[in-house]
Structure 1
């Protein structure tokens, strides 16, 4: 075995946060600790992948002890690399300008105060402040009719804006996905094996991209529908939701390591 193979990362795990690694209601992750400990024992890497901002994810990386790994921020629109300054790219101002031209009914974080975001998410006001420091994407709520939503999405697409439904919010961006960012991280780190876990439709592409995908049960919002049969047979769907389901999946999938 050559030296690079001997030191290759044995396993790289990509994980959504809200409703997956974090509890959907209180954002706790104590129930995930057995799975996190297993990853540490294996020398595996954990890449947090979320609609959260870089500033939000830095805090979670420090709490979970994974600051040596990159993170995928704002649903794939950006990557937070360890030890590197943030990119100078900033799509947010351009995105908000496009939103001003679209049919009304979308209430984004930029339209809310910190207290509004705290109320809608269950975050503390301090956490909500970090959640509103966006650079690439805009999560929010649709407040109009279903017909109005379809017109909004059609006009957004004409302006190069894509919309992805997460566990709680509709998130708008200029198209880069978690799976796109995941591919970039994999090319950089070259792991031997990958696992991806998520609970909402915007995680589907990331789950399919991994060697092993996991759909964490989501009783609180739109879940991920069945994949085509040839893919679905390779997907683990958990019984429990949130961090408990996450931990059970990690322990099951790493039992042979």
Structure 2
């Protein structure tokens, strides 16, 4: 029988955009735990940021997709090595571009931008693999900037708040790797921003979570496999998961009858 794997973005999806609370999603999280589902957090956040939440949710040895897919780590694999990040920052220093990354900001600036408490903002600045930041130029400059980055093997992905730069891998790439390691499996992916789109589209069931504070994704294709929530953030996350679990339970019953 396939195992249920749930891949979830954090800010604006499992976590409220403003308060960062996941409290409204507790019923769905409990329902997933009761079905032995593997919940994989997938975020632009650092491993240092995500580990406390991973532990609070009691996700065990489940991997985390960190820094927008730049790496995939289990809790025991987390360390502070930042060789990749320093390489990325060195390249950025050679480009004359109106991009202000977390490495250019103080802890207080990151706290103000994100609404995070100062200790959490410090963890957000502990980058290892990617650089989120604010684009402060026009669209033509941005296109040129992204083209120059691409020549160096760096991708730029739009999130709910920031433009995040990293070498190569995406959330969807890491999702596929985890699926291969856990085959056979059935996947659900939830997110709210353009950097989640590929992951949502690749899942067996994808959910676009409403976020009135993020980029407009009105053109995102909705169909038999992909749905959009009416409620925002963790409220929408909870409703979508509970609805999909009803389908999952029916599938499991049918498979048992014909197994």
Counterparts of 2:70 and 2:137, CA distance in 1: 26
- Aligned CA distance change for structure 1 residues 225 and 177 (closer, same or farther; 3 Å): farther
Is the CA contact (8 Å cut-off) linking 1:49 and 1:73 kept in structure 2? yes
Is the CA contact (8 Å cut-off) linking 1:217 and 1:223 kept in structure 2? no
Counterparts of 2:108 and 2:220, CA distance in 1: 38
- Aligned CA distance change for structure 1 residues 85 and 124 (closer, same or farther; 3 Å): closer
Is the CA contact (8 Å cut-off) linking 1:72 and 1:178 kept in structure 2? yes
Counterparts of 1:85 and 1:242, CA distance in 2: 27
Q: Which of structure 1's runs of 4+ aligned residues deviate more than 4 A?
A: 85-89
Q: CA deviation at 1:156?
A: 1.7
1:78 to 60, 67, 71: 71
2:116 to 112, 123, 128: 123
Is the CA contact (8 Å cut-off) linking 1:226 and 1:232 kept in structure 2? no
Counterparts of 1:178 and 1:69, CA distance in 2: 15
Matched, 1:156 2:149: yes
Is the CA contact (8 Å cut-off) linking 2:80 and 2:128 kept in structure 1? no
TM-score by length of 2: 0.90
Deviation digits for residues 126-182 of structure 1 (CA, Å, limit 9, x no counterpart): 001111111110000011222322222222222222110000100001121001111
Counterpart of 1:232 in 2: which secondary structure?
coil
Residue aligning to 1:64? 57
Counterpart of 1:83 in 2: which secondary structure?
helix
Q: CA deviation at 1:192?
A: 2.6
Matched, 1:233 2:224: yes
Q: CA deviation at 1:87?
A: 9.1
Is the CA contact (8 Å cut-off) linking 1:102 and 1:156 kept in structure 2? no
- Aligned CA distance change for structure 1 residues 186 and 51 (closer, same or farther; 3 Å): same
Give unmatched runs, 5+ long, in structure 1: none
Matched, 1:99 2:80: no
Is the CA contact (8 Å cut-off) linking 1:70 and 1:80 kept in structure 2? yes
The alignment covers a number of residue pairs equal to: 248
Counterpart of 2:68 in 1: which secondary structure?
helix
Counterpart of 1:141 in 2: which secondary structure?
strand
TM-score by length of 1: 0.91
Deviation digits for residues 6-34 of structure 1 (CA, Å, limit 9, x no counterpart): xx5x3110000000000001111101111
- Aligned CA distance change for structure 1 residues 31 and 118 (closer, same or farther; 3 Å): same
